[in-house]
Amino acid sequence: MEFGGPFFKEFAAAWSEKDGYRLSRTLYPDLPTEKLRKIWRSQNEHDIKGALRRGLQNSGAALEGLVNNETQGWIEVYIAYWKAVGDILAARESSSDNSKSSQVVWDKACDAWRDLLIVLIRGYQNHGFEAWTIPCLYVVGRHLRLFSIKADDERSINNSFDDNTATNFQDDVDPETGKHEKLEECARVLNRMFMLCATDRAPIEESRKWGIYYIVNLLLKTYFKLNSVSLSKNVLRMLAAGQQDMPAFSAFPKSQQVTFKYHEGVLYFWEENYVEAEKHLTHAWNLCHKDAIRNKELILTYLIPCHLITTHTLPTEKLLEPYPRLQKLFLPLCRCIKKGELHLFDLALQEGEEEFVRRRIYLTLERGRDIALRNLLRKVFIARGFEDAKEGEKPVRRSRVPIAEFAAAISLGSQEKVDNDEVECHLANMIYKVSQASVTFSRSRFGSIAISPFPQ
Partner 1 sequence: MASTQTTSKKDDKAAETKPDQQQQAAAEPKPAALEEDDEFEDFPVDDWQTEETEAASGDGTTQHLWEESWDDDDTSDDFSAQLKEELKKVEASRKR
Size of the site for partner 1 (CB under 8 A): 57
282 interacts with partner 1 by CB under 8 A: yes
Near partner 1 by CB under 8 A, which window of 57-65, 191-199, 367-375, 391-399? 367-375
195 interacts with partner 1 by CB under 8 A: no
28 interacts with partner 1 by CB under 8 A: no
CA atoms within 13 A on the CB side of 327: 9
> CA 106, 111, 114: angle at the middle one, nearest 5?
125
Q: How far apart are CA 156 and CA 159, in angstroms?
A: 5
Q: How far apart are CA 428 and CA 450, in angstroms?
A: 14
Contacts with partner 1, 321-360, as mask; x by CB under 8 A? -----------------xxxx----------------xx-
Q: Which is nearer to partner 1, 67 or 157 (CB)?
A: 157
Distance of CA 126 to the CA centre of its chain: 33
Q: Which is nearer to partner 1, 275 or 383 (CB)?
A: 383
Query: By CB neighbour count within 10 A (0-12 exposed, 13-18 middle, 19+ buried), where does 59 fall?
Result: buried
313 interacts with partner 1 by CB under 8 A: yes
Among 63, 404, 425, 428, binds partner 1 (CB under 8 A): 404
Near partner 1 by CB under 8 A, which window of 22-30, 80-88, 112-120, 294-302? 294-302
Among 48, 231, 238, 319, binds partner 1 (CB under 8 A): 319
204 interacts with partner 1 by CB under 8 A: no
Contact (CB, 8 A) for 362 and 302 = no
Contact (CB, 8 A) for 309 and 367 = yes
Contact (CB, 8 A) for 151 and 110 = yes
**In which region does residue 65 sit, left (phi positive, over 0), alpha (psi from -120 to 50) or beta (all else)?**
left
Q: How far apart are CA 325 and CA 290, in angstroms?
A: 18
Q: Which is nearer to partner 1, 404 or 425 (CB)?
A: 404
Neighbours of 312 (CB within 10 A): 15
Q: How far is CA 11 from CA 48, 56, 68, 161, in A?
A: 16, 8, 15, 45
Strand-pairing partners, residue 307, are none
279 interacts with partner 1 by CB under 8 A: no
Q: Which is nearer to partner 1, 49 or 369 (CB)?
A: 369
441 interacts with partner 1 by CB under 8 A: no
295 interacts with partner 1 by CB under 8 A: yes
Among 74, 285, 330, 356, binds partner 1 (CB under 8 A): 285
- Binding to partner 1 (CB under 8 A) within 85-144 occurs at 142
294 interacts with partner 1 by CB under 8 A: yes
To partner 1, the closest distance from the beta carbon of 202 in angstroms equals 22
The single-letter DSSP state of residue 384 is T
61 interacts with partner 1 by CB under 8 A: no
* CA dihedral angle for residue 280, residue 283, residue 289, residue 292, rounded to 10 degrees: 30
433 interacts with partner 1 by CB under 8 A: no
Among 46, 290, 390, 394, binds partner 1 (CB under 8 A): 290
Q: Which is nearer to partner 1, 45 or 355 (CB)?
A: 355
- Binding to partner 1 (CB under 8 A) within 372-391 occurs at 374-375, 378-380, 382-384
Among 50, 178, 253, 395, binds partner 1 (CB under 8 A): 253
263 interacts with partner 1 by CB under 8 A: yes
311 interacts with partner 1 by CB under 8 A: yes
Q: Which is nearer to partner 1, 112 or 309 (CB)?
A: 309
Q: Which is nearer to partner 1, 246 or 409 (CB)?
A: 409
Q: How far apart are CA 416 and CA 410, in angstroms?
A: 9
Residues 270-282 as b or e (16 or more Cβ within 10 Å = b): beeebeebbbbbb
Q: How far apart are CA 69 and CA 58, in angstroms?
A: 15
Residues 370-388 as b or e (16 or more Cβ within 10 Å = b): bbbbbbbbeebbeeeeeee
Q: How far apart are CA 247 and CA 244, in angstroms?
A: 8
To partner 1, the closest distance from the beta carbon of 298 in angstroms equals 6
**Residue 132: closest CA among 56, 60, 65:** 65
Strand-pairing partners, residue 441, are 449
Contacts with partner 1, 408-427, as mask; x by CB under 8 A? xx--x---------------
Q: How far apart are CA 124 and CA 130, in angstroms?
A: 7
Residues that bind partner 1 (CB under 8 A): 142, 221, 224-225, 253-256, 258-259, 262-263, 282, 285-292, 294-296, 298, 307, 311-316, 318-319, 338-341, 358-359, 371, 374-375, 378-380, 382-384, 402, 404-405, 408-409, 412, 454, 456
